[in-house]
Amino acid sequence: MNLEGRKIIVNKSSKELTELLKTPENYKDFMPDGLQKFETRDNGFKFGLQGMPEIALKIDEVDDQKAVLKSASSSLDFSLTATLNPINENQTEVQMLFEGKFNPFIKMMVEKPLQNFINTLTDKIEAYK
């Protein structure tokens, strides 16, 4: 299952975004309303949203072209990637991409909430100061 967020322009350099996305604590600022739990871990974080199970993510790779988060659970196989495309010294195009391997039943249950989550992350990153 692959999902995409819309492409946005962030008024930060790709280097600034890279530094921001390397730090687990910073992801709390991008979480949707309804966040009930957020705890940082070594190289990652765990969060819980209202009406959804808690999800643990690890920061797998961050460079000036992408930030890759992967599931920290062996029972769920997915990644969430923010692609970073520098436009100029102070602006970067960002797009969220989700890739997961789910059975058809799970896919049917999680596809809409995941797309909403990606859309909210995109909106929060776009509005980030």
56-111 pLDDT per residue, tens:
999 999 999 999 999 998 788 899 999 999 999 999 999 999 999 998 998 898 89
Query: CB of 67 within 8 A of CB of 52?
Result: no
Q: Judge contact between 71 and 54, C-beta under 8 A.
A: no
pLDDT, residue 75, reads 80
pLDDT > 80? residue 124: yes
To the question of pTM greater than 0.95 for the whole model, the response is: no
Query: Which CATH number goes with the domain that contains 83?
Result: 3.30.530.20
Q: Which of 3, 2, 6 is nearest to 123 (CA)?
A: 6
Q: How many domains does the chain have?
A: 1
**122: which 2 tokens?**
């995109």
Q: Are 103 and 92 in contact (CB under 8 A)?
A: no
The answer, yes or no, to whether residue 51 has pLDDT greater than 80, is no
Mean pLDDT of the chain: 93
So what's the pLDDT on residue 10? 95
Q: Name every residue whose Cβ is closer than 8 Å to that of residue 28 and which is 6 or more positions away in sequence.
A: 35, 38, 45, 47
> What digits encode the pLDDT tens for the residues 28-40?
999 998 899 999 9
Alpha helices in 1-103 (DSSP H): 14-21
User: Amino acid letter at 101?
Assistant: K
Parent domain of 99: 2-127
Distances in Å between the alpha carbon of 123 and those of 12, 71, 117? 15, 22, 10
Q: Output the pLDDT for position 4.
A: 96
- In this prediction, residues 47-53 reach a mean pLDDT of 85
C-alpha span between 21 and 59 (Å, rounded):
8
Residues of the chain with pLDDT > 70: what percent?
100
User: Does residue 26 have a pLDDT over 90?
Assistant: yes
